[in-house]
A and B are shown apart, each in its own frame.
Chain A
Amino acid sequence: DSGVTQTPKHLITATGQRVTLRCSPRSGDLSVYWYQQSLDQGLQFLIQYYNGEERAKGNILERFSAQQFPDLHSELNLSSLELGDSALYFCASSVSLGSTGELFFGEGSRLTVL
């Protein structure tokens, strides 16, 4: 158990809909990262928050947004969903700002868009 909690574990929805994925980082970790893992793909970095502020952006679509709340949990919002958005979405946390230390990953949220 990494200490990172993601909900829901599975989500099935239709094209055009909007979903919210939630992540609770490990106790004491200030950085939260979101990654997308599509079938047969590696881990694509989406966005990072540190202590409530957006720190870095990767290949995140404009239809996607995220935030980190004062209690440090984070939410990833995916809107106007398309079939290609079907993927595993991972949240990871670390104690530091940079990722030169261990990232602790949750078990992921599997999104299926029909």
Chain B
Amino acid sequence: GENVEQHPSTLSVQEGDSAVIKCTYSDSASNYFPWYKQELGKGPQLIIDIRSNVGEKKDQRIAVTLNKTAKHFSLHITETQPEDSAVYFCAASTASNDYKLSFGAGTTVTVRA
């Protein structure tokens, strides 16, 4: 099945700096790559997603890039703010796996004021 690896496991950044989280996946047939944000005591919430026919997608301060050849995708958060502190999960989905999402282990992001 699909195996998604996520790095780093923890990330501390100064407010206003950028944060980058990277994920790799194993199944070359994967075609959908969402990112979820989990705040303390809450369930994960979708923040951005990208499909395999697109290389980059932006939504305000967050962006995701996808490199299908290398089988990796990344989340970029610019101008970080304290409310960006959370656990971020990447995931991958493939038709061959009945579109089940395989999640990475998560990255705990702490934005220092």
Contacts and interface: CB of A to CB of B under 8 A. Distances in A.
Given A41-B105, A42-B106, A99 B99 contact: yes
- 10 closest Cβ contacts across the A-B interface? A98-B99, A105-B43, A42-B105, A43-B103, A100-B32, A42-B103, A102-B46, A99-B101, A105-B44, A107-B43
Contacts of A98: 93, 95, 98-99
Contacts of B99: 97-100
A90 interface: yes
A88 to B, nearest CB: 9
Contacts of B104: 42
A58 B100 contact: yes
B98 A55 contact: yes
Chain B interface bracket (under 10, 10 to 19, 20 to 34, 35 or more): 20 to 34
B81 interface: no
Interface of B: 6, 31-32, 34, 36, 41-46, 49, 51, 89, 93, 95, 98-106
Chain A interface bracket (under 10, 10 to 19, 20 to 34, 35 or more): 20 to 34
A63 to B, nearest CB: 21
A103 B101 contact: yes
B36 to A, nearest CB: 8
Contact of A100 (B42, B45, B93, B102): B93
